[in-house]
A and B are shown apart, each in its own frame.
Chain A
Amino acid sequence: MHDLYGTTYKANIEEIFASDSKNFYYEYMPYWVEASKISLKRHGKSKSPSRIDILFTIIRNYPKTKTLDSADHKILIIYEADKLERIIQQALRRTMEKYSRICRFILVANSVSNIIDPIRSRCVNLKLFPLSQKQFLSKIKYICESEEINITENALKLIYYYSNNDMNIAINILEAASCYKKKITENFIYEMIKKLEIKEIGECLKLAISGNIVDARNFLRNLFIKKSLSGKMILKAFNKFLMESTITEELKKKISIEISKFDSYISVPSNNELQLSFFLTYLATLGIKD
C-alpha cells in the first residue's frame, strides 16, 4: 500500500479495527467522534455516540468525500471484519456499491463464515495460506542477517515450532532473545520459553487435581488480577499444560472435549471466574494420582 500511494498514504487510507472499544475512538480518532456527534444531532439525538454510532459514521461518510492529492481511489481497510455486527455489515453493503467510484474496501477476516453473503458476493475472496516452513525460516534468516544476530540452525527450528507458524511471535521471541545474548543457541531459546510460561497455572491445576478447590481458586484469582489475563487465555494455558503433562491419552481426550465445552461457556457473557472454578472442580472428580 505504501508503494502504491507513497506520500499521500495517510490522506487516502483509513484503517479501522472492528473489535475496538468506544474509548479507543474517543482517544485516538476524535474527528470521527465529532462527526458522529454532528450526524446524531441532525437526527435529533443529543447523546454521546456509542461505538456502533461511530462505526456507522465512518462507513457512511468516509467513502462520500473526495480523494486527496489526485489519487485514483480512497481505501477503507477494515480489520477483523468477521467481528462486525450484522447491522453494520448491512450498512457497509450499501456504501460499497454506491461509492465504488471513489472508495474501495479491503476487509480482513479470520474466517469467512461470519461475513454476510451480500458482502461476500461484492468482494473478491482471496484466501491466504500459512507460510511453509521453508519460507518461514528464510524470512527469519533474513532478519537475523540484517540485524547481525548469530543463531544456530536448531534454534531456528525451535522458534518455528514454538511460534506455531505465527510470524509475530517468531519475530518477537527473536528480538527478545537478541537483547540478552549475542549468540543464540537452542538451549537459550528453551530458557526464554520457560520464562514466558505462567507458573501459577501448574500449581493451580495440581491443587485442583488433589481436591483443594479453595486454594486452587485463590491461584486462579491471582491469574485474573495480577497477571490481568482473560478467561480465554487462562483456559488456553490450562489446555496446553494438561496436554503436555504425563496423564494417559484416554484422559487427555476426555479433558480436551470438556475444555471445548468450557470455552463455549466463556465465549457467551458469563462470570469467567465462576466457570473456571467449575472447571477446577471437574478436574478434582477425575481422581488423577500424580
Chain B
Amino acid sequence: MLEKELWTIKYAPKKESDIVGNPNAVKVIKEFLTKWSSKNEIKALLLLGPPGCGKTSSTNVLAKLNRFDVIEINASDVRNKKSIEEKLIPSLATRTIKKGVNKLYLIDEVDGLSGNQDRGGLSAMLKMVKLSKFPIIFTANNVHDKKFRSLRDKRSGIKIVKFQKIKNPTIVKVLQKICIAEKIQADPKALTEIAINVNNDLRSAINDLQAVCEGKKKLTLSDVRKIQQVRDTEKNIFEVLNIIFKNKDIQTCNRAVSMLDIDWGLLLHWVNEILPYHKVSSRTLFKSYKALSKADLIYNAIASNPEKISWSMLPYFIDIISSGVSLPIKNENKSHFVQYFRYSPSNFLNKMYASRSGELMNIVNKIRKKLKSSPEEIITKHLPFIALILKKRSPQSEYLKKFYELDRREITFIKNII
C-alpha cells in the first residue's frame, strides 16, 4: 500500500522542541515574532541556508505557537512587480478576522525569482517591507547571489539569519524517531548510509527513508545501497573546487567533478579564476596552468564541434581538471587555503568583452564600406591610425568623420583604442 501522506509533512515539527539543529537561528526567529510590533526597526527576516535545513518548517512551527496566520508565497506563484502590487500590497492594509491572530508573510525561495517572468519582483518586495504592518520572512538558498545585494542593505530593514547544514548524527536521530513511530526495524548502519548520501539535507533524507521503506517493516543496508545509485546529489561548485584543491585522493576528485551539475565551461572559468591566488612557486603554477590549458583545448574542441569530435574525449577533460591541475599544488604545499570569493566575475567579464567586441565590429563594418580590406586588417592596420588622426583637431579629422559616417559614441570608442 502506498502511503498517502509524505513523511516530510507527516513528521514535520509540531512543537518548538521538535526543531533540530540551528538553535541560534531559531532563537532569532522566535524573538522576532514574540516581540513583534509594527514600529520595530527590523520588519523582515531573510533566512539563508542550504535546502532541507529547516528554514520553512521552523518558521511554520514558531508562527503557529505565537498565534500568527502564515500566508505563503512560493516559487509556484507568479511573483512579478504587477502581481505583487495588485494582490499583496492591498492585503497589507487588512487584518485577519480571527481574534488575537496576526498575519505573517512567508515568501519562500526568493532566489527562485526568475529573471524574465518575475521582472521587478524583488524591488516590489522591498517596497512591501517598507509599507508592511505585518512581519515578513524571506527564505533563500544561494548566499552568493548578486541579486540579494539590495536585500542585504541595512537600510532595507531586513535582518539576515544564517542556517547551517544539519549534521549527520542529528539526521540519523530524526530518522530513528520516524522508524519507531512507523514501527520499522531499522539497521542503524542503513540509516547512517542514508544520512551520508543526502549531503546534510534532512528533507531528502526523510524522503529517501520513505522510498526505501515503502511496504516494508524491515530495513537493511543493502536496501539503501540500491537507492544510492539513483540519487546522485548535485554538488555546489564551491564544494567541488574545495575537493579539487584539497583532497589528495584522485578518485574522490574525479567523482566530485563528474557529479557536478553545471556547465563544464563554468568550472574551467572558476579554476582559472582562483588558480593564481595559490601561494606556490612559479614553477608549480606553471605546471598547473599547463594542465589547465590542455583541459581548455579539449573542452573547446568538444564544444565547438560536437559532431566530428566525439564526446569520448570528455573523460580526459575530467581527469585533467580534477587532478592534473591541482596535483602540483598539492605536492608542494600542504596548507594552502584559498578563500573563494566574488560571484562568477569571469562570466561577467566575458559578457562585457562580447558587447565591446560587438561595438568594435560595427565600426569596422562601417569603415569597410569605404575601404577594401578584411576586418582583421582594419583592426590592426587602420584603426590605430584613424584614432591618432581623430585625436588631433584638424581638417583631416573632420573629413574622416564625415567620410566614414562616424557618430560621437563611435569616435570616443575609437579614441580609447590607443
List the interface of chain A (C-beta within 8 A of B): 15, 17, 19-21, 23-24, 27-28, 79-80, 166, 168-169, 172-173, 175-176, 178-180, 192, 195-196, 198, 211, 213-214, 217, 221, 224-228, 230, 233, 265, 268-271, 273-275, 277-278, 281-282, 284-285, 287
Contacts and interface: CB of A to CB of B under 8 A. Distances in A.
21 contacts: A19-B374, A20-B375, A23-B365, A172-B382, A173-B385, A192-B388, A196-B385, A196-B418, A225-B352, A225-B356, A228-B417, A268-B300, A269-B300, A269-B303, A270-B296, A271-B296, A271-B300, A277-B289, A278-B286, A278-B292, A281-B276
B357 interface: yes
Max count, chain B CB within 10 A of own CB: residue among A15, A80, A270, A274 = A274
A168 B373 CA distance: 10
Interface of B: 268-269, 272, 276-277, 282-283, 285-286, 289-290, 292-293, 296-297, 300-301, 303-304, 349, 352-353, 356-357, 360-361, 365, 368-369, 372-377, 379-382, 384-386, 388-389, 392, 394, 396-397, 416-418
B289 A179 contact: no
A278 B293 contact: yes
Residue in A196, A211, A275, A278 whose Cβ sees the most chain B Cβ within 10 Å: A278
Contacts of B417: 227-228
A196 B379 contact: no
B282 A23 contact: no
Contacts of B376: 19
B304 to A, nearest CB: 4
Contacts, number: 128
A213 B276 contact: yes
A265 B379 contact: no
Contact of B389 (A179, A224, A284): A179
Contacts of B286: 278, 281-282, 284-285
Contacts of B418: 195-196, 198
A106 B66 CA distance: 86
Given A173-B385, A196-B384, A196-B418, A275 B296 contact: yes
A269 B301 contact: yes
Q: In terms of DSSP, what is the predominant structure of the interface of chain B?
A: helix
The main secondary structure of chain A at its interface with chain B is helix
Given A196-B388, A221-B349, A214 B374 contact: no
Contacts of B377: 168
Contacts of B361: 21, 23
A15 B372 contact: yes
A224 to B, nearest CB: 6
A30 to B, nearest CB: 13
Contacts of A198: 418
A172 B282 CA distance: 42
A27 B365 CA distance: 9
A281 B285 contact: yes
B289 A281 contact: yes
Given A79-B374, A175-B385, A217-B276, A224 B282 contact: no
Nearest to B265: A271
A17 B374 contact: yes
Contacts of A195: 388, 418
Nearest to B288: A281
Contacts of B416: 226-227
Contact of A28 (B283, B365, B373, B389): B365
Given A271-B296, A281-B286, A282-B286, A228 B396 contact: no
